[in-house]
Amino acid sequence: MSDDLHILLIDSDDDDRALATILLRGRFPTAIVESITTVAALVTSLARGGFDVVVAEYRTPWIEGRALLDAIKASHPGVPVIFLTATDDTECALAVVRAGAADYVVKSPRGFLRLPTAVDHAVLAETPPRSGPESPADLTTRIVPAGARSGTRRHQAHARATGRSCGLLTKRGGDAQA
């Protein structure tokens, strides 16, 4: 399995898929952007797994967004799903976010430009929640020993793809570094 960020892009519109791919590769140059255009390709990808985030059109000719979200959450519960869609419907957006989607981005000039940030936030949001606020002193107790790999594979792939740290601390030579 690759350590690069793996984005599953599900959309039946060639132009929208191409634009989303360009924007995602602009933010995540080392990312693998896998285009899904048929139900057969979707079934194969879900069976294989290994993806870190899903970006999907809410309505394709072969699957509806809520059914897609349910299928992904059932087979890959930790993988965030972002809907990038032409369906500008506030009630629909609220319903799918309440059902577990990480975000709902409307296909518009602003929406497409916001997509990489939505992926950024969705991948980083998969960090397990902490109980209560932490002081700087509390953070020093979470330092990872030298040589240990910090964070999840998804966070490590994100850091490589963006060229920046996810904010996890490591310890090298006795000094903590962010």
**Angle, CA of 101, 118 and 81, to the nearest 5°:** 25
What pLDDT, in 10s, does the model give residues 12-35? 999 999 999 999 999 999 999 999
Positive or negative: CA dihedral 162, 65, 111, 129: negative
pLDDT band, very low/low/confident/very high, at 148 (cuts 50, 70, 90): very low
Please tell me the distance from the alpha carbon of residue 168 to that of residue 163, in angstroms, as a whole number: 14
pTM: 0.72
- pLDDT at residue 162 greater than cutoff 70: no
Q: How far apart are CA 4 and CA 154, in angstroms?
A: 8
Average confidence (pLDDT) over 81-91: 92
Alpha-carbon distance of 161 to 32, in angstroms, equals 10
Q: What is the pLDDT of residues 132-144, one digit of tens each?
A: 344 444 333 333 3
Q: Walk me through the domains of the chain, giving residue ranges and CATH numbers.
A: 6-125 (3.40.50.2300), 136-177 (no CATH)
